[in-house]
Chain A
Amino acid sequence: MVPLNWYIMLSAIIFIIGAVGFLIRRNILIMLISIELMLNSVNISFVAFSHYLQDLRGQIFVFFIITVAAAEAAIGLAILVSLFRNKVAIQTDQVTEMKG
């Protein structure tokens, strides 16, 4: 059986990849993908904990996270589309109407 530690390490590594990707990439679509990575790393750790602790709560939580992540992606893309209609830009450093 795969030890719990491995799952936790995997989840932490994916979470860090997602967080770093979100912070250093400037393409909005890549940033959205990074957020998905972070959410799914959380799912891995919830399911791993849930299995090793023999408690179902973690798996129930994962269902909710998946559902909300779908809604979040829909809204994020909708916002991006409405921005794209007014200004053809997909890099965050082109979206700088407001500063200070």
Chain B
Amino acid sequence: MNMPFPNLAPVTPEIILSIAAMLLLLMELVFKNKGVLALAGLIAVAVTLYVLPSSFGTTFGGMFISDSYSMYFKLIFMINLALTILLSLKYLQREKAECGEYYSLLLFATTGMMIMASARDFIVLYLGLELMALSTYVLAGIKRNDIKSNEAALKYFLLGAFSSALLLYGISLLYGLTTTTDLYKIAAQLQQSEVSTTLLLSMILIAVAFSFKIAAAPFHMWAPDVYEGAPTSITAFMSVGPKAAGFAVIGRVFYVAFQNVQADWTPILIGIAILTMAVGNILAIAQTNIKRMLAYSSIAHAGYMLVGIIAGTAEGQQAMMTYMLIYAFMNMGAFAVVIMLEKGDEIKDYEGLAKTRPVIAALMLVFMFSLTGIPPTAGFVGKFNIFMAAINAGYVWLVVVAVIFSAISAYYYLRVVMNMYMREPAETAAINPSPSLGLALVISVVMVFVIGIIPSVVIG
């Protein structure tokens, strides 16, 4: 049998990143100083970013596609990876969780996300999803001697495995209906056939499985526990990476494979989106731990991004992508502040921070304002785009609901600000400054303002 050698140009970024991940595993044996591994990881990110623009194309018999859509998401994954490496460097030493596999697993997880964003076939999508998920389960439990970290990994693993079983069952039904796993061929097949109960069931199963990945209600239960228990640097990584990858595949699957049955999946997603915004915003109010609060806030943000998907237009999709990029910067920034403080897990730890550490308090203020969506920060631009896209698509009532929930969110974001600026400090908060953490904070805060003031850098 004669098989043509596949064109590897479109997969070069993934190949480079996975080779780098394997090299990191070997380097761990040689280098005692784990900072070298972090540096090597950053170099891998730089090389991947360098080859990314030249990797357009389709390969492996049309199973893998690299287009501007996947490119945009890969850029988000690279930003996420680079910022996480910067956050982790000192934090791991402090937590005594330093091990070489850490950086290797981060790179593998990111490779999985990139494969997800580029999947044009359910087989590739599933493999990418599992590569990402399995690496992230281990990362959540990387503090082996900490019972909370173990518990987070276990909860994440059980619910993640359950959701991937649901996804597979949905795919198998879809395969039975259409004889194919290729997203474009599925779309062509669905054009001819009527919407049957089986198709509806498979759509629901696939939507539910992706809702687990993006932590949308009612499948969000794992998020607060996992975010609280996992090491903070991994919480930051998980709150952006897998969520962005989940949205990348939702955009691809629902806009390509299910494009002809849009009227049937829109109600499913509207229900999930409203519930997600309600649960995320209302339960966040009651939290006293800032990592749990940010977990509920990330659930709420998944709800806003779903509104962009529901719009069902190219504008909505673009708004969702822009929001994801903005969310990456502001959320990473907020977690960087949490890592910077020696004792910063509880919201009451922030009391009077403005008096003792004015710069850190000001940075946290910017990120909280951005997460609320107050101009001139980037969060406003993101929300504005999403809501405009939904209004242009005719979902005015949904936008009204989203804006109301967004107003509720001001309560718990601004409570942190109030604690910092209007309370008296109990003691001077100890901080852990390091050049890499400072760099991550500077990048985040600069991008939040740049996108907030000149939105044209990310739109269009």
Contacts and interface: CB of A to CB of B under 8 A. Distances in A.
Interface string A53-96: 10101101100110010011001101110110111000010010
Contacts of B384: none
Nearest to B152: A98
A68 B130 contact: yes
B176 A79 contact: no
B137 A98 contact: no
Contacts of A57: 123, 175, 179-181
B165 A18 contact: yes
B151 to A, nearest CB: 5
Contacts of B150: 79, 82-83, 86-87
A95 B152 CA distance: 10
Contacts of B286: 100
B175 A58 contact: yes
A42 interface: yes
A52 B148 CA distance: 48
B229 A97 contact: yes
Contacts of B162: 19, 22, 35, 38
Contacts of A65: 126, 168
A15 B165 CA distance: 9
A42 B166 CA distance: 9
B123 A79 contact: no
Nearest to A54: B179
Nearest to B289: A100
Contacts of A55: 179-180
A92 to B, nearest CB: 8
B168 A100 contact: no
Interface of B: 122-123, 126-127, 130, 134, 137-138, 141, 144-148, 150-155, 157-158, 161-162, 164-166, 168-169, 171-173, 175-176, 179-181, 224-225, 228-229, 286-287, 289, 292
5 contacts: A45-B176, A55-B179, A58-B172, A79-B153, A97-B229
Interface of A: 8, 11, 15, 18-19, 22, 28, 31-32, 35, 38-39, 41-42, 45-46, 49, 53, 55, 57-58, 60-61, 64-65, 68, 71-72, 75-76, 78-80, 82-83, 85-87, 92, 95, 97-98, 100
Given A41-B169, A72-B130, A86-B145, 5 more contacts: A19-B165, A38-B166, A42-B165, A61-B175, A86-B146
